[in-house]
A and B are shown apart, each in its own frame.
Chain A
Amino acid sequence: MSLRIVVTVKYVPDATGDRHFADDLTVDRDDVDGLLSELDEYAVEQALQIAEAADDADVTVVTVGPEDAKDALRKALSMGADKAVHVEDDDLHGTDALGTSLVLAKAVEKAGYDLVISGMASTDGTMGVVPALLAERLGVPQVTLLSEVTVEGGIVKGRRDGDSATEQLEASLPAVVSVTDQSGEARYPSFKGIMAAKKKPVEAWDLSDLDLEAGQVGLEGSYTTVDSAAERPARTAGTIVKDEGEGGKQLAEFLASQKFI
């Protein structure tokens, strides 16, 4: 039987750009170029490796986001994913993590899955909670923050490097997995992959396709409210000295003046 792998990916503002908030205190997505969240590339890579090791598997990438988010899907398809789903709806604007997990859970169920793979966090919100929320909503095991992952005989196994210990984990499929940037370098799309991606199917779903209503998502359905967002004041210029043999001593002097030594 075919192993159905769904990868959830996010289209995010480029972190090297000048990121801002819009007037409604949501992330301004018009001001900065977007791209596939770097941390999701690792999820696509692991999905492809698991699919390649299986007898029969297919990889579907799913994203929730505006029109431009198709770019993130194209990137994943050009890496080697088989097909894509784009959930797009004007009412999704301002959706929080809980709402995102609701939309993703519905989309993943509609797509059909044995294994969901996500990145460890998005590079914009950086909450890192969507994989756990997805597992809770789907009622399947969460096998998250893996630096190594394998799937064999309906069992997913992985290694999780925690703060105080490294753990070996194991769960039966279906399951939700998330992988860290230590799981293995993501492949670059080949020219052939880029050309092939143009012909791969991208399904477009809106809220009604997922039996969801506007009030359940977006700013209206959000469980949190942002009251203010202020740019951090620029740091006052510090003292910079050139080392001409005394740099270490000068630095010690500074640390002593600040009572660190």
Chain B
Amino acid sequence: MAEVLVYVDHVDGAVRKPTLELLTLARRIGEPVAVALGAGAADTAAVLGAHGAVKVLTHDASEYADYLVVPKVDALQAAVEAVSPAAVLVPSSAEGKEIAARLALRIGSGIITDAVDLEAGDTGPVATQSVFAASFTTKSRVSQGTPVITVKPNSAAVEAAPATPAVSELSVAFSAQATGTKVTGRTPRESTGRPELTEAAIVVSGGRGVNGSENFAIIEALADSLGAAVGASRAAVDAGWYPHTNQVGQTGKSVSPQLYIANGISGAIQHRAGMQTSKTIVAVNKDAEAPIFDLVDYGVVGDLFDVVPALTQEINTRKG
């Protein structure tokens, strides 16, 4: 059976959920072979095996942390040469897309980014993409070389598929470009204790209507009652009320959770581009004419300062 390379996104050995989703998708095309790089790479094998990886290729070197992107491209290229896979799957993070693009160019292959679904086809994997602010759905294939495809978080349910992976060390020779861009400092993001925005099953967002950074506390309280991540519209981020890393939209993050709750967000096209594929959409807004109401499954026309705390309290009461 054909092997499919899966690039593993992990932090010190802790595998992030989008990688486990990729293993599920990879099994539709062939047998997943995972590639884990950097500190803690070997520690990923157990969880990768539990999700269907038949092989895990690991490599650790200081280059992965000390230089930007290219060392990882070198390693993935080495893995492609070692395995001759039917496809290469990479999580659709900003870095994942850059790694995938450079790899595709090197191995003479086409690249598809931000797939939201993946199926085996007669001539290789067929990727579904959601484009033009999610107003169109396309199906595409890579027509030359080994398909390199990046997949958005929440594109597949994580499925357990116990395998006992053969773990081996990948042999990597770094290219001349590998040390071109030096990482001279790194400040890890402080953990909020909330789920990662792009991976969360529920996202609670605030926009212009939240009217001040101090008021984001009520958005956070609602998020915490649901175990959700907090998002913000560009208006709220540009006003300095919430960090850019939490921005949902065309220039921020694209999210596709089970439930999206937009509070005080009008629903401009740029915001819709980042959340329109959410499964269930709920909005609270004072303005009955706000375009966000065209998208909702359930909407409340009202003041978020009344509705959101009442909702939070009701949820907390029900949870007992």
Contact = CB atoms under 8 A, between A and B. Distances in A.
Q: Do A and B come from one complex?
A: yes
A199 to B, nearest CB: 33
A260 B113 contact: no
Nearest to A133: B101
B251 A232 contact: no
B187 interface: yes
Interface in B126-157: 126, 130-145
A166 B188 CA distance: 6
A170 B180 CA distance: 9
B113 A142 contact: no
A228 B141 CA distance: 10
B293 A230 contact: no
Contact of A242 (B135, B270, B302, B314): B302
A204 interface: no
Contact of A224 (B111, B250, B269): B111
Contacts of A101: 105
B226 A231 contact: no
Contacts, number: 261
Interface residues of B, number: 91
Contact of A227 (B69, B141, B144): B141
Given A98-B104, A248-B314, A164 B133 contact: no
Interface residues of A, number: 81
A168 B185 contact: yes
Nearest to B70: A142
B192 interface: no
A136 B281 CA distance: 40
A144 B302 contact: no
Interface in B224-263: 226, 244-245, 250-251, 258-259
A40 interface: no
Contacts of B27: none
Given A19-B132, A251-B298, A256-B318, A161 B114 contact: no
A240 B111 CA distance: 42
A249 interface: yes
B310 A249 contact: yes
Interface stretch (B34-42, B52-60, B90-98, B158-166): B90-98
Contacts of B97: 127-129, 132
B68 A229 contact: no
A260 B261 CA distance: 12
A45 B98 CA distance: 23
A106 to B, nearest CB: 14
Interface string B305-319: 011111111110011
A39 B249 CA distance: 13
Contacts of A249: 310-311, 314
A247 interface: yes
Contacts of B184: 157, 168-170
Contacts of B138: 21, 25, 226-230
B273 interface: yes
A185 B199 CA distance: 30
29 contacts: A39-B251, A97-B101, A98-B105, A126-B114, A128-B98, A128-B113, A129-B97, A129-B111, A131-B98, A132-B69, A132-B98, A145-B94, A163-B93, A165-B186, A165-B189, A168-B184, A169-B181, A171-B181, A225-B142, A226-B138, A229-B138, A230-B136, A232-B136, A249-B310, A251-B311, A255-B259, A256-B318, A260-B202, A261-B319
Closest 9 CB pairs of A and B: A248-B310, A243-B302, A223-B110, A141-B180, A129-B101, A168-B185, A252-B314, A132-B98, A248-B311
Given A21-B138, A181-B251, 6 more contacts: A15-B269, A19-B133, A124-B132, A142-B70, A166-B189, A251-B300
